A and B are shown apart, each in its own frame.
Chain A
Amino acid sequence: MIEIKNTSKTYGTGENATAALKDVSLTVSDGVFIVLLGASGSGKSTLLHIASGLERPDSGSVNVDGTDIAALPDKELTAFRKEKVGFIFQQYFLLPNLNVDKNVKMGADLAGNGGYREIIEAVGLGDKLHKFPSQLSGGEQQRVSIARALAKNPKVLFLDEPTGALDEETGRQVLDYIGNLQKARGFSMVMVTHNANIAEIADTVVKMNSGKIVEMAGNEQRKTAYEIGW
């Protein structure tokens, strides 16, 4: 479980200071799927980065299974990410000089996951093991980044606009695939998006505006991307 308590974050100083997060608190229970929804500049990505240990808050705490990761030294924070966290980014961030197999292996080796090729098969890239990122479409690259994140068996998966760079159909496939996997494997998932239409695929929707949580609502029944007509 992740408990974010009274976290604030400001970028810049003096006249250029911008408050990205203002005293935000949020709990991510085990096995839930939370969507952080908001316009650009609402603070959702900052909250995701702080919850995942990519950034430190200026104040407040981020407790993960009883440990305040905001207070951990770099070395232990790295170990935390290694053991517990998976990331999927809008820009994929695949290593361009490694093929699909090796990019996924990057995540798998951290968890000692020798069976990572099953995940590559599952994301539909079994026949593209030896292709390099530059030889893949955007949707395929995103699926590689999904496989890479899942191959390290994360306890929490953080997704930053995972469908932002994809076309509608591919985005729908990717969302449904991740949603199904999350249900099957039971890890927690926090996804940032500005697309209000996809909120219904999550257990909880957190709406943000100007660095604050303005609304939080649960969905009784999660829907697929196809069901919500996205």
Chain B
Amino acid sequence: MIIRPKDAAKLFGISIMCFCAVLISTMFLNSNIDMARIKDQITDPDALLLHDMVVSSGKMTSAVTGGALALTTVVILLFYVKHYIDTHKSELGILKALGYSNWKIARSFWVFGLSVFTGAALGFGGAFALMPAFYRQMRSDELLPDTPLRFNPILVMYLVVLPALAFSALAVLYSHRKLKRPALELIRGTSNVRVKKAKLNGKQKPDAPFLRELKQSTVRSRFSLVFFIWFASFCYAASVVMSFSMPEVSSDMMAVLMAGIGIVLAVTTLFIAVTTVIKGNAKTIAMLRVFGYSDRECARAILSGYRPITYVGFALGSIYQHGLMLMALSMFIGNDALELPDYSFHWQACIISFISFVVMYEIFMRVYAAKIKRIPLKEVMMEE
């Protein structure tokens, strides 16, 4: 085995995402299945209306949460596979040079799906721990008949087994695609830098200070890191702003649950992104420090270039969550001919989320950069 389960353990962020997605989806889908069984017993029109509303709300929440988190997980998984190949390219190149086929190496990447399985299984179990309270809360106005909590095995298949298999397959296929490079290229690590076309006509920009040029070049040449930090900011805004907007369209219990999950997800995604950005630039930072650039200069040149990108990500994430909420409300609740809840863009939530985002981002950057600084220069530079 080339990739060890220990490597998959580093994907704890994916496990957390899956935990949250499956927790929410299981609660709503299980209750929807259980409620479908009691629909025939409901004769009161008000109770029937409430039943339909609860089912619609469940469909909406599962779709929005499950869908958004599944998409986020796909992006993070693909990023991790790419990052793993980039950071282990010389070992992978040596394996290829020794005669291992792309498929043989790629097959080892199935273990990345273990992180999905772990998170999903824990989320499924966690949902069953919370569901008695959730069912009681649904019956709190005593309009709906007693809904017995049942274990629906089909959900294990759809929410735990199939996602784990699908993500394992995705990791294998994507890694196979990324491994389609000559062995020597992987060993030498020569192909992962985007090279700007040389300017030969003498029309060059006037000389800018080295650190400014490095800042621009760092951001331009690391598209995957730029995308990841942008995406993390986007997710942060979407999750947190949406969480705070939930009280307008769902029960208090659900709003608290969603806010908790939103914040955990947002912080996890941002943490992964920030640490990946710093790790991805550790060697450049080490080289600058060897030459005598101060920590402040290194941070300004290498790390501050990502800051504007995060702000753009946050703004787009806020807009996206608003659009998604409007769309989901009209699609699910609107179709059931129920009155749409009063929902509008939550400016206050957006501003609070932005402040928390900036604070969190700066703390992660500083703490992690300080951690990197404590690693001896020699160690950073010699690690290949």
Segment from B149-157, B195-203, B271-279, B333-341 that makes contact with A: B195-203
* Contact code string A203-228 (vs B, CB < 8 Å = 1, else 0): 00000000000000000000000000
Mask: chain B, 241-252; 1 = CB below 8 Å from A; 0 = not: 000000000000
Chain B residues contacting A49 (CB-CB under 8 Å) are 378
Chain A residues with CB below 8 A from B289, complex form: 78, 81
Task: State the interface size on chain B (CB cutoff 8 A).
Answer: 36
A-B contacts besides A79-B292, A134-B193, 5 pairs, CB < 8 Å: A55-B377, A74-B373, A78-B292, A87-B290, A96-B193
**A residues 53-72 with Cβ under 8 Å of B?**
54-55
Which of B195, B217, B291, B378: most chain A CB closer than 10 A? B291
Contacts A95-B284, A109-B211 given; indicate if A81 touches B378 (C-beta within 8 A): no
| B214-A102 in contact (CB<8A) | yes
Q: Say whether A130 contacts B200, CB under 8 Å.
A: yes
Which residue on B lies nearest to A128, using beta carbons? Answer: B198
Number of A interface residues at 8 Å Cβ cutoff, please give it: 33
Residues of A within 8 A of B213 (CB): 98, 102, 105
Given contacts A49-B378, A54-B378, A55-B378, are A81 and B292 in contact (CB under 8 A)? yes
A110 is an interface residue with CB less than 8 A from chain B? yes
- Asked whether, in the complex, the Cβ of B293 is within 8 Å of the Cβ of A97, the reply is no
B101 within 8 A of A: no
Q: Secondary structure at chain B's binding surface: helix, strand, loop or mixed?
A: helix
Give the residues from 356 to 384 in chain B that come closer than 8 angstroms, CB to CB, to chain A.
Answer: 373, 376-378, 381
Smallest CB separation, A14 vs chain B (Å): 19
B295: which A residues are within 8 A, CB to CB? 75, 78
Partner of A97, one of B194, B209, B292: B194
What 0/1 pattern do residues 158 to 201 of B give for CB contact below 8 A with A? Answer: 00000000000000000000000000000000111111101110
Q: Are B190 and A105 in contact (CB under 8 A)?
A: no
Residue A106 interfacial (CB < 8 Å): yes
Chain A to chain B: the 5 pairs with minimum beta-carbon distance, closest first: A82-B292, A130-B198, A97-B221, A109-B210, A81-B292
Nearest A residue (CB) for B188 = A134
Tell whether A176 is near chain B: CB-to-CB under 8 Å: no
**Chain A interface residues (CB < 8 Å from chain B):** 49, 54-55, 74-75, 78-83, 85, 87, 89, 93, 95-99, 102, 105-110, 130-132, 134-135, 152
**B195→A98 contact, CB < 8 A:** no
Smallest CB separation, A46 vs chain B (Å): 9
Mask of B198-237 contacts with A, CB within 8 angstroms, 1/0: 1110000000011101100110111000000000000000
> In the complex, what distance in Å separates the CA atom of A109 from the CA atom of B210?
6
Using Cβ atoms and an 8 Å threshold, which residues of chain B touch A107? 291
Asked if A97 contacts B378 (CB within 8 A), the reply is no
